[in-house]
């Protein structure tokens, strides 16, 4: 048994039977992080002292018979989650010295269960990107091929799971940032419905789109993590007060009669042939499992990327106004007055992609252009939402690719932001519609790279997509393939 390869539920059994301790587990993980970090770069901050203290506390809980499935499990968090007393950069130079005075609710919830914190993970700056190349802390490398990107913006979160540097991780998804890196690194990524998980204490990018979710080794772990994270939080006015179902109980293994929609707009020319093949094979597997397929249309798909880049940048330009060098974060030296200090601090602190988005967003919100861009985008967003509402009258789940191609090469799209933006074409509509979706391993390309399958569910339909994902996992072996590193 290699501790590093274990899922949460497997590790739980070993911890429960006292075959290993949480401290031994944490030490093994920390040693692994140290040995592969020079090749991967998943972490911005490793927290060995915190990890060992958490593990000792977990071992005491286990000895006292007070453990649950997450007690003693080593996790790591995208550096967008506030962690009290532990540096939180959001991948930006502007927050290089920021130590938050409180923690995100999602992290608090996991802490209460006795998890072990290994550290904070690399990401695109302020979660803006699809490749992790916009981080101020270096590019993360894909553990399956270190010349390639791990995806973004939660690239460190996906790479850490794939490189076996953590048992599971947390990410955030505004336009695909959990699902696309999960797909590129061969792990399971879940973006819950908007409102399902609290975003309190998660650094805001685009507030009407951001959601928190887990990246895990398998679907069983995804259900465990969602169960721990979901629920109403009075500190987040967008979190919804509906009961949290038992997600693990939803994994029944049977999907007979499940109606799966195939949106014709997603199986387009330009889709990588290996991705197409993997989707065809997955459809075949689902047919054998007793699912019924329905051809559907999501007619406004073509407008999703443009709509997203107006709404997300508009919201980002407003959210990022708080980084002014006054209250926290980087402050420029030698400024001649207040305005100069703002300008210098922001010029020095933000990277090129973040600046581009602040400018785009400010433009879209400016008087004279507001109606033509921002208001128009909101109207198109409603049409995209209605596409999904209509589709879900005929189907229970929608099946699509996660990304048009497997992981691309580092540097390949840096010079062409539009090409980079288009890599989220299949994930962005889900955030605009506010519903849930997940990415699960569903194939390997001819060049040995993982390919993900996206299952989109109805709002608050996480149980259904988890059940469908689990049934597929039982019938295939893609989730057992590992990056050789
Ligand atoms: N790649 C998309 C963007 O750059 C999505 C990022 C995300 O989901 N945080 O905005």
> How much is the average pLDDT of 415-436?
92
134 CA → ligand 1 middle, Å? 11
Strand order of the β-sheet with 74-78 is 43-46, 116-121, 74-78, 168-173, 211-216, 188-191, 437-444, 450-457, 397-401, 259-263, 292-296
215 touches 182 (CB < 8 A): yes
**Coil, strand or helix at 15:** helix
205 CA → ligand 1 middle, Å? 9
pLDDT at site 420:
87
Q: How many Å apart are CA 416 and CA 55, to the nearest integer?
A: 45
Q: What is the total residue count of the chain?
A: 485
248 in active site: no
Q: How many Å apart are CA 460 and CA 468, to the nearest integer?
A: 15
154 CA → ligand 1 middle, Å? 9
pLDDT at site 419:
83
pLDDT at site 53:
98
111 in active site: no
Gyration radius of the chain over CA positions? 21
177 in active site: yes
User: Any idea where the domains of the chain sit in the sequence?
Assistant: 3-258+395-480
> How much is the average pLDDT of 373-394?
97
Mutation test residue for ligand 1: of 128, 155, 192, the one with most atoms within 8 Å of CB = 128
pLDDT-derived band at 1, boundaries 50, 70, 90: low
Helix (H) or strand (E) holding 454: strand 450-457
Q: Is pLDDT at 482 greater than 70 in this prediction?
A: yes
HSE toward the beta carbon, residue 166, CA cutoff 13 A = 33
Q: Is pLDDT at 295 greater than 90 in this prediction?
A: yes
The dihedral through the CA atoms of 247, 248, 251, 252 has a sign that is: negative
Supply 375's token pair: 């208001």
**Helix segments in 190-327, DSSP class H:** 219-229, 273-288, 304-319
pLDDT digits (tens, 9 = 90+) for 206-237: 999 999 999 999 999 999 999 999 999 999 99
Residue among 140, 132, 113 nearest 36 (CA): 140
What does DSSP assign to residue 257?
T
Q: Is pLDDT at 423 greater than 90 in this prediction?
A: no
Helix (H) or strand (E) holding 216: strand 211-216
Q: What are phi and psi of 82, to 5 degrees?
A: -70, 135
pLDDT digits (tens, 9 = 90+) for 202-211: 999 999 999 9
- Distances in whole angstroms, Cα of residue 340 to Cα of each of 10, 18, 337: 56, 60, 5
pLDDT-derived band at 268, boundaries 50, 70, 90: confident
Mean pLDDT of the chain: 97
Neighbours of 332 (CB within 10 A): 16
pLDDT-derived band at 415, boundaries 50, 70, 90: confident
pLDDT digits (tens, 9 = 90+) for 48-92: 999 999 999 999 999 999 999 999 999 999 999 999 999 999 999
Ligand 1 site, CB within 6 A: 127-130, 153, 173-177, 205, 312, 424
pLDDT at site 269:
79
Residue among 258, 361, 245 nearest 309 (CA): 361
Nearest alpha carbon, ligand 1 atom 10: 128
In the chain, the N- to C-terminal Cα span, in Å, equals: 18
% of residues, the chain, pLDDT over 90: 95
Q: Is pLDDT at 480 greater than 90 in this prediction?
A: yes
User: Poorest-confidence range of 30-44, 121-135, 299-313, 325-339?
Assistant: 325-339
% of residues, the chain, pLDDT over 70: 100
Residue among 131, 38, 42 nearest 406 (CA): 131
> How much is the average pLDDT of 369-374?
92
Among 42, 157, 177, 345, the active-site one is 177
Supply 300's token pair: 């406004």
Residue among 74, 72, 52, 67 nearest 5 (CA): 74
179 touches 193 (CB < 8 A): no
**Helix segments in 405-461, DSSP class H:** 417-422, 428-433
Among 134, 153, 157, 345, the active-site one is 153
Non-local (6+) Cβ contacts of 464 within 8 A are: 250, 258, 396, 397, 457, 458
481 CA → ligand 1 middle, Å? 27
Q: How many Å apart are CA 227 and CA 224, to the nearest integer?
A: 5
Q: β-strands 188-191, 211-216: how paired?
A: antiparallel
Question: Quick one: fold of 3-258+395-480?
Answer: Amidase signature (AS) enzymes (3.90.1300)
**Coil, strand or helix at 168:** strand
pLDDT at site 39:
97
């Amino acid at each position: 048994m290699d501790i590093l390869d274990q899922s949460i539920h497997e590790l739980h059994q070993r911890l429960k039977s006292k075959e290993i301790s949480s401290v031994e587990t944490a030490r093994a993980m920390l040693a692994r992080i140290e040995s592969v970090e020079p090749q991967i770069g998943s972490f911005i901050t490793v927290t060995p002292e915190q990890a060992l203290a958490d593990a000792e506390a977990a071992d005491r809980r286990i000895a006292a018979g007070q453990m649950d499935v997450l007690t003693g499990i080593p996790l790591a968090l995208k550096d967008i989650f506030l962690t009290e007393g532990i540096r939180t950069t959001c991948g930006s130079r502007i927050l290089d010295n920021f130590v938050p005075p409180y923690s995100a609710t999602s992290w608090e919830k996991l802490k209460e269960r006795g998890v072990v914190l290994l550290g904070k993970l690399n990401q695109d700056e302020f979660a803006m990107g699809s490749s992790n190349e916009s981080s101020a802390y270096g590019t993360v490398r894909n553990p399956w091929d270190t010349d390639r990107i791990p995806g973004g913006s939660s690239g460190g979160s996906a790479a850490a799971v794939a490189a076996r540097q953590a048992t599971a991780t947390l990410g955030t998804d505004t336009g695909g940032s959990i699902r696309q890196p999960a797909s590129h690194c061969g792990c399971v990524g879940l973006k819950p419905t908007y409102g399902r998980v609290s975003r309190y204490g998660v650094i805001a990018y685009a507030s009407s789109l951001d959601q928190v979710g887990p990246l895990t080794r398998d679907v069983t772990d995804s259900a465990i993590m969602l169960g721990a994270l979901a629920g109403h939080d009075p500190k987040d006015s967008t979190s919804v007060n509906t009961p949290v179902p038992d997600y693990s109980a939803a994994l029944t293994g049977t999907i007979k009669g499940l109606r799966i929609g195939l949106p014709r707009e997603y199986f387009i020319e330009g889709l990588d042939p290996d991705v197409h093949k993997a989707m065809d094979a997955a459809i075949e597997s689902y047919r054998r499992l007793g699912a019924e397929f329905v051809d559907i249309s999501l007619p406004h798909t073509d407008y999703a990327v443009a709509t997203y880049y107006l709404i997300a940048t508009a919201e980002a330009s407003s959210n990022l106004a708080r980084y002014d060098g006054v209250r926290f974060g980087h402050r420029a030296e030698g400024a001649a007055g207040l305005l100069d200090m703002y300008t210098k601090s922001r010029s020095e602190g933000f990277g090129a992609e973040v600046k581009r988005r602040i400018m785009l967003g400010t433009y879209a919100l400016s008087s004279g252009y507001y109606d033509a861009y921002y208001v128009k985008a909101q109207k198109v967003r409603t049409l995209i939402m209605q596409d999904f509402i209509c589709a879900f009258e005929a189907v229970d789940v929608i099946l699509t690719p996660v990304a048009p191609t497997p992981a691309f090469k580092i540097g390949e799209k840096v010079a062409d932001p539009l090409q980079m933006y288009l890599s989220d074409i299949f994930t962005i509509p889900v955030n605009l519609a506010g519903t849930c979706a997940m990415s699960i391993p569903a194939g390997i390309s001819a060049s040995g790279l993982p390919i993900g399958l996206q299952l989109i569910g109805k709002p608050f339909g996480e149980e259904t997509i988890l059940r469908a994902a689990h049934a597929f996992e039982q019938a295939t072996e893609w989730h057992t393939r590992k990056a050789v590193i």
